[in-house]
Amino acid sequence: MEPVPVSKITPSPQRVTLELPADPALLVMACRMVCLFAEMQGMGERDCQRLELAVDEICTNCITHAYNRDITKKYRVTVERSEDDFLVVRVLDHGEGFDLGDVPTPDIRCPLTDRQIGGLGLMFAVKATDELCYKRTPEGENCITMRKRISPISQVAQA
């Protein structure tokens, strides 16, 4: 008898949202929540790990850039499955608006002496997902939306 995928036998919630203070120690909760949801939807292990990296980097930007590590401020992470079988993660904060185009693209081929890490987080999130976009919501929130196709076998990420 063919094994039944977990996603077919486990009742899956439509959408899960977590609100967290801008505390580095709690960042792992956002990652775990998204990974667990992704696993429940049948996403392969390597893709779950890449999605974790993307979520971590975007939430890190919320904590460090939007809120300057002020733990009284909160950001929100929402994850859901789309009808076209993508996992969709949204990260929202109330920091100042920005333009994705203004974030410098790091030169990952330059020698050690010139090597900078700034902008690497966003680059990781772009590499680790299939789509990433930013918008400023009418409510005055920054919203980063990431989409990653749900595939039981992870595809090779492009380095």
Distance of CA 120 to the CA centre of its chain: 14
Query: How far is residue 8's CA from residue 41's CA, in Å, rounded to a whole number?
Result: 9
Query: Nearest approach, Cβ of 130 to other proteins (angstroms)?
Result: 15
Query: Nearest approach, Cβ of 156 to other proteins (angstroms)?
Result: 10
In the complex with other proteins, the residue whose CB is nearer, 12 or 46, is: 46
Non-local (6+) Cβ contacts of 147 within 8 A are 82, 86, 87, 88, 89, 129, 130, 131, 132
Query: Nearest approach, Cβ of 31 to other proteins (angstroms)?
Result: 8
Burial class (CB in 10 A: 0-12, 13-18, 19+), 60: middle
In the complex with other proteins, the residue whose CB is nearer, 46 or 94, is: 46
In the complex with other proteins, the residue whose CB is nearer, 85 or 131, is: 131
Residue reference for tokens 């809120």: 67
In the complex with other proteins, the residue whose CB is nearer, 79 or 125, is: 125
In the complex with other proteins, the residue whose CB is nearer, 92 or 122, is: 122
Assigned token pair, 47: 């893709």
Query: How far is residue 43's CA from residue 46's CA, in Å, rounded to a whole number?
Result: 9
Write out the residues near other proteins by the rule CB under 8 A: 24-25, 27-28, 31, 46, 49-50, 52-53, 56-57, 60, 63-64, 106, 108-109, 112-113, 115, 117, 120-121, 123-124, 127-128, 157, 159
- Cα dihedral across residues 148, 151, 152, 157: positive or negative: negative
Query: Nearest approach, Cβ of 128 to other proteins (angstroms)?
Result: 8
Query: Nearest approach, Cβ of 25 to other proteins (angstroms)?
Result: 5
